[in-house]
């Protein structure tokens, strides 16, 4: 299917997906917060709630009753407006009734509210993606030209396999990862104002996946979230602007029976032994997520270990399929310095 901005998206400059691999991590709150922040900064902004089974926009914007959706003379759906922000959600059409439907029907409804809504001229359309990495998510990436994706996770539910799966899904359809939102990352002591991280290293996400953390959101009341949403939205805009420049700085990658070679545009050349890189894989199959202990020993690495395929993941990492069958690792370029 051709990736294009069609119908209602023709005048939308940037479409950004906000995604998570698990439910309950605050994805919809972040999507709504980023959209509100962009609107406050003067950008023409829309928010699409693409979670058919669990729409959140009506609740987040206190629009659970009295909202009537209608079409214009061009038979396009007219979005609901709230404080200058254009909104569309299946929840506006469904009300309180449960959405009980099969996958193909869900896909059709998502395409309808995305492509047949009269968004008009927008600088940014934020898409609140349904959780997961299945057919519905792929349909969205194939129905519109996405500028990039933001992945939301929490330390309480952090699964390296699931986060990696989300990154790989977007890269498979050539959607750049703009960064990660680390939600409910820490709390601040009321007495000494010290940050206490709930789990793991403060920089664990960047170290393991090579992607930028746009913002760390603490455990606080929703009413106090606005400064963090503004910070995250600004970082997201910076990431959008940095995409073109970053592509010019990517290395040429090659490999042989012994090494992986990286040649950077500035002339720097780096080579890493295949065995060393395979042994230092940080995926959940090779490292215990809770303790950080390695689950693979040097003796388990075959003597002739070598890549079968290497795929660049945006401007931050490589995905390597090894000749021992292992393919779930993500190797940030920072590992090669």
Is the pLDDT assigned to residue 102 strictly greater than 70? Answer: no
pTM of the predicted model as reported, rounded to 2 decimal places? 0.78
Higher pLDDT, 33 or 75: 33
Give 169-188 pLDDT, tens digit per residue.
Answer: 887 777 889 999 988 888 88
Higher pLDDT, 334 or 118: 118
Give 132-166 pLDDT, tens digit per residue.
Answer: 777 778 778 877 888 999 999 887 655 566 777 88
Instruction: Grade residue 3 by pLDDT with cuts at 50, 70 and 90.
Output: very low
Chain region(s) in the chain for CATH 3.30.2020.30: 252-336
Is the pLDDT assigned to residue 72 strictly greater than 60? Answer: yes
Q: Which CATH class is domain 9-247?
A: alpha beta
Q: Quick one: what percent of the chain has pLDDT higher than 90?
A: 39
Q: What is the structure's pLDDT at 221? A: 73
Q: What is the structure's pLDDT at 118? A: 93
Is the pLDDT assigned to residue 16 strictly greater than 80? Answer: yes
Chain region(s) in the chain for CATH 3.40.50.300: 9-247
Both structure tokens of 129: 């993606």
Lowest-pLDDT choice from 2-11, 223-232, 260-269, 323-332: 2-11
Higher pLDDT, 289 or 75: 75
Give 260-302 pLDDT, tens digit per residue.
Answer: 999 988 888 999 999 999 999 988 788 887 777 899 999 999 9
Q: What is the structure's pLDDT at 336? A: 82
Architecture of domain 252-336 in CATH? 2-Layer Sandwich (3.30)
Instruction: Grade residue 2 by pLDDT with cuts at 50, 70 and 90.
Output: very low
Q: Is 205 exposed, middle or buried (0-12, 13-18, 19+ CB in 10 A)?
A: buried
Mean pLDDT, the chain, integer: 84
Is the pLDDT assigned to residue 314 strictly greater than 50? Answer: yes
């Amino acid at each position: 299917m051709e990736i294009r901005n069609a119908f209602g998206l023709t005048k939308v400059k940037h479409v950004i997906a906000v995604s998570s691999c698990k439910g309950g991590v605050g994805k919809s709150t972040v999507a709504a917060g980023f959209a509100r922040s962009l609107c406050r900064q003067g950008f023409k902004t829309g928010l699409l709630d693409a979670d058919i089974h669990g729409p959140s926009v009506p609740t987040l914007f206190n629009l659970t009753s009295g909202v009537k959706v209608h079409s214009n003379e061009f038979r396009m759906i007219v979005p609901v407006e709230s404080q200058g922000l254009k909104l569309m959600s299946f929840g506006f059409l469904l009300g309180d009734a449960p959405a009980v439907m099969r996958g193909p029907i869900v896909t059709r409804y998502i395409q309808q509210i995305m492509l047949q809504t009269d968004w008009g001229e927008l600088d940014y359309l934020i898409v609140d993606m349904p959780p997961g990495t299945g057919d519905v998510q792929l349909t969205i990436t194939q129905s519109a030209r996405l500028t990039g994706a933001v992945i939301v996770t929490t330390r309480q539910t952090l699964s390296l396999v699931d986060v990696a799966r989300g990154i790989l899904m977007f890269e498979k359809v050539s959607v750049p990862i703009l960064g990660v939102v680390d939600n409910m990352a820490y709390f601040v002591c009321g007495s000494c104002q010290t940050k206490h991280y709930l789990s793991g290293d403060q920089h664990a996400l960047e170290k393991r996946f090579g992607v930028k953390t746009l913002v760390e959101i603490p455990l606080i009341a929703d009413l106090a979230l606005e400064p963090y949403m503004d910070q995250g939205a600004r970082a997201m805009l910076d990431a959008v602007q940095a995409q073109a420049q970053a592509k010019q700085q990517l290395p040429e990658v090659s490999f042989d029976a012994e090494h992986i070679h990286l040649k950077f545009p500035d002339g720097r050349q780096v080579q890493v032994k295949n065995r060393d890189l395979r042994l230092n894989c940080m995926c959940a199959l090779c490292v215990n997520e809770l303790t950080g202990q390695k689950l693979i020993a040097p003796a388990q690495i075959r003597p002739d270990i070598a890549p079968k395929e290497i795929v660049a993941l945006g401007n931050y990492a490589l995905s390597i399929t090894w000749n021992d069958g292992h393919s779930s690792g993500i190797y940030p370029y920072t590992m090669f310095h």
